[in-house]
C-alpha cells in the first residue's frame, strides 16, 4: 500500500475537508477507497488530481452531476462534443444572468439617483422617495 494516502493526508494536500472527500466518494465522483484492516480509507495518489479537477470544474460553474458526466467520459473521444454543448449551455446561462444583473443594476442606479436628488433638497421628503418607488412598483 506504498504511496497510498489516508483521508487526512488527501484532505491536507487537496485543501478539502475530510467530509467533502467522503461526500464526493458517496456521490460517485471518486472511486470507493479500499480500507485498511483497521478501517482507514486509502486513496491512490491520482485521487488528488481528480479532486483538483472537481474543484476547478466547480469553480467554472459545473454542477456535481455535470462533473460526474465529465469524469465518466474523460477517455471517450466523443466527449469533446458533449463538453462543447455543455459549455455553450453554460455560456448562455451566464449571458442570461449578466443581462438580469445589468437590468437590476440600472434600477438600483435610478433609485440611487432619486436618493441623491431627495437628499440634495433642504428638507428631504417624507417618506423616502426610493421606498415610495419600491412600494408603488408593480
State pLDDT tens for residues 15-25. Answer: 999 999 999 99
Residue 134 is predicted with a pLDDT of 83
Q: For residues 121 and 124, which has the higher predicted lDDT (pLDDT)? A: 121
Q: For residues 52 and 2, which has the higher predicted lDDT (pLDDT)? A: 52
Across the chain, mean pLDDT equals: 89
Grid cell in block for residue 19: 467530509
Q: What is the DSSP letter of 129?
A: H
Q: Where are the beta strands (DSSP E) in the chain?
A: 5-6, 42-43
- Sequence-separated contacts (24+) of 47-56 with Cβ below 8 Å: 47/5, 47/10, 48/5, 48/10, 48/13, 48/14, 51/10, 51/14, 51/16, 51/21, 51/24, 52/14, 54/24, 54/29, 55/14, 55/15, 55/16
Grid cell in block for residue 92: 448562455
Residue 16 is predicted with a pLDDT of 95
Mean local confidence (pLDDT), 109-135: 84
Residue 2 above 90 pLDDT?
Answer: no
Residue 48 is predicted with a pLDDT of 94
Residue 131 is predicted with a pLDDT of 85
Q: Name the residue among 93, 37, 102, 33 with its Cα closest to residue 66.
A: 93
Residue 135 is predicted with a pLDDT of 83
Residue 119 above 80 pLDDT?
Answer: yes
Q: For residues 83 and 43, which has the higher predicted lDDT (pLDDT)? A: 43
Peptide bond into 127 cis (omega under 30): yes
pLDDT tens, residue by residue, 59-101: 999 999 999 888 877 767 777 888 888 889 999 999 999 999 9
- In sequence order, the 6+-apart residues with CB closer than 8 A to the CB of 47 are 5, 10, 30, 31, 33
Give the CA count within 13 Å in the CB-facing half-sphere of 29.
Answer: 23
Grid cell in block for residue 23: 461526500
Amino acid at each position: 500500500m506504498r504511496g497510498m494516502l489516508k483521508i487526512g493526508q488527501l484532505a491536507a494536500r487537496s485543501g478539502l475537508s475530510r467530509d467533502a472527500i467522503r461526500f464526493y466518494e458517496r456521490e460517485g465522483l471518486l472511486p470507493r477507497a479500499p480500507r485498511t484492516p483497521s478501517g482507514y480509507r486509502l486513496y491512490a495518489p491520482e485521487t488528488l488530481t481528480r479532486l483538483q479537477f472537481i474543484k476547478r470544474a466547480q469553480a467554472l460553474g459545473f454542477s456535481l452531476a455535470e462533473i460526474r458526466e465529465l469524469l465518466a467520459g474523460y477517455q471517450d473521444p466523443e466527449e469533446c462534443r458533449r463538453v462543447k454543448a455543455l459549455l455553450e449551455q453554460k455560456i448562455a446561462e451566464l449571458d442570461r444572468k449578466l443581462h438580469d444583473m445589468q437590468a437590476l443594476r440600472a434600477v438600483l442606479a435610478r433609485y440611487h439617483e432619486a436618493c441623491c436628488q431627495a437628499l440634495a433638497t433642504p428638507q428631504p421628503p417624507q417618506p423616502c422617495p426610493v421606498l415610495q418607488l419600491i412600494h408603488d412598483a408593480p
